Structure 1
């Protein structure tokens, strides 16, 4: 993992994500790609001509670069390799474009928690990034003076299709030196016997030689609350889950569970594409 993408609207929430990225970059020798999207209507921007022909575009470009300059003066970024990028796209498309062009390994995004995501990352844009990103997406909820993860909850339905994403979670846990807590949430509407749950989880255990983990079956009224309540019960520092990309969230995370967790969980959330 060598390249991190941090989308920013220069808000406090976006800077919280940047601070985590800076800690990660310093410890693991990563480069940071700092992205600001200018949502100027695409029909107004001719990619074959200079942006000098569009005064509004030039104004906001200069404003963004001025903000970048002030941001890059922050002490916590000293000595790090940071690439600033201003793009003229819809937010989701801009993030996808930069990831593809620069072979990004991890997206780190800011969120203000239960009130929803920051203006830049609001609504369907965030859902698209979380749901369709080919690479892991880490959503940060608050400022972390030290982003330390000792306990990492990986919630799943433990079907075979989620094994590849679990292996990605293992690699991330190894970098953080964290223990993974495999979690199966049992609900009245999606009841699975303990024996069946253990059989599913056993397959995951045997799919890797990773040994720093626990297995847990937790009962709750719904999946989202079960994940959050279990994470709180062990004071976990990170919650992880799988996504199905363009096919939608995995069957375990039916509907908007992943988006709800991103918005409502007090802890950081990371998603891995199946």
Structure 2
């Protein structure tokens, strides 16, 4: 992990997201990019404005937003990390995806809510879009988080796909942060149980024979309920999910489960794409 992007709307919750970006950045010695996107606000309706006045308004907005990025970048640099602040005249989703591509971002970190509506829109109406289209992991931080720490990681799975390539990244994060990993198979009502659990459990145990972990099972009325109950049982401070959106079978299994967990969780949720 070399480059981490934090999306900010300058809210209190975006500040928490920044602290998580710094936490992971220090673990990996990664470069932190901070992005804020905005659309122009011109003069009040009914007030005459020529081109000069409109350009002045744009310049003032740009300078105001740029000034707010400076103390955030300073926080990152004071933590001993390299930081680059990005201010884009763009909509939220386009700006974030453009930055991911341009700066070769490995992880996107964002607050789940924000007073300005910036990240509300991103994780609300655009949650399905960013989850489906993002090629990199996305870490969503809810406003309920009080302690910025990753010490106990819950990896929730339904054991329907080979997820070893994701698990290897999860164990890497755990090693970097000296965190423990718990794997939980969620059996939910009305969810397909097509593949043999033993097959995937054997694969995991063989692939990660040197890792210290336990795979347990929880039965619940829904995947979301099962994930949250497992997190409470293990006293987890990070939930990790693998989102499967690439084939017809995954559509039958319901691609919105990861979105439901992200929107409802009181814990940070890290989503990987398969």
Shorter-chain-normalised TM-score: which range?
0.7 to 0.9
Q: Kindly provide the CA deviation profile for residues 191-217 of structure 1, in whole angstroms up to 9, marking residues without a partner as x.
A: 649x94233322233234452211111
2:24 paired with 1:24: yes
Change (3 A) 1:253 1:182: farther
Change (3 A) 1:70 1:181: closer
The residue aligned with 2:46 is none
Instruction: Return the alpha-carbon distance in structure 2 between the equivalents of residues 9 and 262 of structure 1.
Output: 19
Q: Kindly provide the CA deviation profile for residues 221-264 of structure 1, in whole angstroms up to 9, marking residues without a partner as x.
A: 11110011111111111111112356699469624211111111
The residue aligned with 1:217 is 217
Instruction: Return the alpha-carbon distance in structure 1 between the equivalents of residues 6 and 158 of structure 2.
Output: 30
The residue aligned with 2:169 is 168
Aligned-residue offset at 1:127: 2.9
Change (3 A) 1:256 1:166: same
5+ long unaligned stretches in structure 2: 42-52
Instruction: Return the alpha-carbon distance in structure 1 between the equivalents of residues 120 and 224 of structure 2.
Output: 24
Instruction: Return the alpha-carbon distance in structure 2 between the equivalents of residues 139 and 235 of structure 1.
Output: 18
Instruction: Return the alpha-carbon distance in structure 1 between the equivalents of residues 249 and 113 of structure 2.
Output: 22
TM normalised by structure 1 equals 0.82
2:273 paired with 1:273: yes
Say whether the 8 Å CA contact 1:170–1:210 is kept in structure 2: no
Please show how residues 1-274 of structure 1 align to structure 2 within 5 Å: 1-40=1-40, 54-74=55-75, 77-112=78-113, 118-119=119-120, 121-142=122-143, 143-149=145-151, 151-190=152-191, 192=193, 196-244=196-244, 250=250, 254-274=254-274
5+ long unaligned stretches in structure 1: 42-51
Q: Kindly provide the CA deviation profile for residues 126-180 of structure 1, in whole angstroms up to 9, marking residues without a partner as x.
A: 332233211111111245544132x211112223443332333232222222222
The residue aligned with 2:45 is none
Say whether the 8 Å CA contact 1:105–1:135 is kept in structure 2: yes
Aligned-residue offset at 1:17: 0.3
Say whether the 8 Å CA contact 2:112–2:120 is kept in structure 1: no
- Aligned CA RMSD, in angstroms, stands at 3.1
Aligned-residue offset at 1:95: 1.1
Instruction: Return the alpha-carbon distance in structure 2 between the equivalents of residues 224 and 95 of structure 1.
Output: 27
Change (3 A) 1:191 1:66: closer
Change (3 A) 1:74 1:165: closer
Change (3 A) 1:72 1:167: closer
Moved more, 196-205 or 262-271: 196-205
The residue aligned with 2:48 is none
For the residue of structure 1 that corresponds to 2:163, the secondary structure is helix
Say whether the 8 Å CA contact 1:249–1:258 is kept in structure 2: no
State how many pairs are aligned: 260
Moved more, 216-225 or 65-74: 65-74
